[in-house]
Amino acid sequence: MPRLPVPSDSDAFSEGTRGAVRHILDTRGGNVPAPSGLMTYAEKAGALLSDLVEHLRYHTSLTNAETELAICISARASNSDYIWNAHTRLGLQAGTREEALHAVDTHGPLDGLTTDESLIVRFGRELLEQPAVSDDTFNAVRARYGERGLMELVAIMSVYTMNANILPVVNFQAAPEARHLTR
């Protein structure tokens, strides 16, 4: 059971929270995703988080499949079943290959992945699970995606790590029937 409900535009919440919820409803097609919605307790921060997530998901130089793979890498590194479940489904719809998702989920080898998949997974593992990104990986990502794509990968993985940190604070869990990470 979540410790806090996802806020709504009702008198049960502060005007600042309600304003942030209204902003998210207006800009996200009537949907208030849990992490951004929960962040509306911090009022404007929830609206800003939602705007950043929306921008990073839909308005970067990365393909939708690359973006969803990056989000799944963040979900795996953060052990977030909730984000994993949502974004493996969205990733498959966007063209992310099951082989790449399996390698991410199981911390498996990168053999059999495309060059781009392997590069994104390697970068994400180093960024989120190692003390530093190696020069070789940095240079390879920069050569393939340019400075813009490099920073977009950092941003998308980082914002979803933040989202993943919001969820356990309020004990927001994936449904039992969700696609869960391999433990």
* pLDDT tens digits in sequence order for the chain, 183 residues long: 899 999 999 999 999 999 999 999 999 988 888 999 999 999 999 999 999 999 999 999 999 999 999 999 999 999 999 999 999 999 999 999 999 999 999 999 999 999 999 999 999 999 999 999 999 999 999 999 999 999 999 999 999 999 999 999 999 999 889 999 998
Q: What is the pLDDT of residues 13-50, one digit of tens each?
A: 999 999 999 999 999 988 888 999 999 999 999 999 99
- What's residue 31's pLDDT? 84
Which residues, 6+ apart, have CB-to-CB distance to 179 below 8 Å?
84, 85, 88, 89
Q: Which of 152, 157, 131, 156 is nearest to 141 (CA)?
A: 152
In the block, residue with structure tokens 């489904």? 89
pTM assigned to the model: 0.95
